[in-house]
Structure formats: structure tokens, C-alpha cells
């Protein structure tokens, strides 16, 4: 970043440890600002511009009861990526008496320290996110999703992976 001394003490900008920052939304080329950064016009970036992306993996159909399986589904990664947050599991039908537990392996290593769990009467793993062992997944890695525990009423398992290419 260039010289920021001209911004010191000019509200609403603040400085600290070599950074200039603003709390609120910023518009460039527009006064109609509704996002953290709204730009009207071309943007040139000479370095890497990264944004979180996601993809969804369907591990079952929408209506059939889930079965304990090894693997429920597997796929190979098309490039290197870094998980930006733990994957999320969602269900079409919530479990009744037992939680639905999922373990994801990359090659021969677990992706989580603990299993990802969808507890009874919930539709997603948002309430019990797992701890990642590592966020990095190499190009052409084999990813295996296993259902390790299920409930007869649960169905429609999908995994959502949040990542950035690296």
C-alpha cells in the first residue's frame, strides 16, 4: 500500500499498524452503495484476487433413508484448494432419534479431528461444526465421504465445501 499519511485524522478513515480502514460500505464510481465494496467500472489487479467459492456434493437422493456406507460418495479434486471454513452437511429430512455422522477423508487422512454431526431434529451441521485437521487439499486428491451413523428417518444428505483455489 502506498503512503497513507494523508489519511491520518481525516474521518471516517482510520489508521493503525500501517493500514487504512473504514467501517462501513465503500463505493468507487458510484454513490449507490449497498455492499462492503461496490465498484462501477473496470478493476485491474496485478496480484491474486481471491474469493470464497463453494460446491455441493449430493451423497444420497432426496427421499430414500440414509444408510451407513463406506463410501457414500467419492470424487477427485480438479485443482489445489484451501477450505475457508469447515464443510457443512444438510439434510432434506432431519434425523429423529439418532444423529447423522459423517467423516470425510482426503487420500488416507481424515479431514476432521471429530466427525461432522447433524443432531436430532436439525437439518444441518451448523450447530456442531467439526475441527479441520488441515484446510489444504491437493490437486487430484481422492475425497471420500462416509456416513458413519444415521437414523432411519434421515434423508437427502448434501455436503457443502467452502474453498478458495490456491
- Residue ranges of domains in the chain, CATH in brackets: 5-39 (no CATH), 53-165 (2.60.120)
> Taking the model in full, what pTM does it have?
0.74
Would you state the pLDDT for residue 5?
56
- Coil, strand or helix at 127: helix
Q: How many CB atoms lie within 10 A of CB 44?
A: 4
Question: How confident is the prediction along the chain (166 residues), in pLDDT tens digits per residue?
Answer: 455 555 555 677 777 777 877 888 888 999 999 988 889 999 998 988 888 999 999 999 999 999 998 788 999 999 999 999 989 999 999 999 999 999 999 998 999 888 889 988 889 988 777 888 999 999 999 999 999 999 989 999 999 999 999 8
Structure-block grid coordinates of residue 22: 473504514
Q: Would you list the DSSP string of 25-84?
A: -EEES-S---SSEEE-S----SS-----EEEEEE-S-SSSBP--EEEEEEEE-SS-EEES
Structure-block grid coordinates of residue 102: 459423517
Amino acid at each position: 500500500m502506498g503512503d497513507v499519511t494523508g489519511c491520518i485524522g481525516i474521518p471516517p478513515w482510520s489508521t493503525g499498524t500501517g493500514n487504512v480502514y473504514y467501517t462501513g460500505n465503500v463505493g468507487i464510481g458510484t454513490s449507490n452503495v449497498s455492499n462492503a465494496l461496490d465498484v462501477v467500472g473496470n478493476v485491474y489487479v496485478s496480484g491474486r484476487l481471491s474469493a470464497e467459492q463453494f460446491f455441493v456434493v449430493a451423497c444420497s437422493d432426496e427421499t430414500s433413508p440414509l444408510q451407513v456406507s463406506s463410501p457414500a460418495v467419492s470424487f477427485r479434486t480438479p485443482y489445489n484448494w484451501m477450505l475457508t471454513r469447515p464443510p457443512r452437511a444438510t439434510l432434506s429430512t432431519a434425523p429423529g432419534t439418532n444423529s447423522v455422522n459423517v467423516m470425510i477423508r482426503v487420500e488416507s487422512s481424515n479431514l476432521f479431528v471429530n466427525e461432522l454431526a447433524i443432531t436430532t431434529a436439525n437439518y444441518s451441521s451448523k450447530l456442531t461444526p467439526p475441527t479441520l485437521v488441515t484446510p489444504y487439499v491437493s490437486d487430484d486428491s481422492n475425497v471420500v465421504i462416509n456416513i458413519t451413523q444415521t437414523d432411519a428417518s434421515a434423508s437427502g444428505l448434501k455436503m457443502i465445501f467452502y474453498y478458495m483455489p490456491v
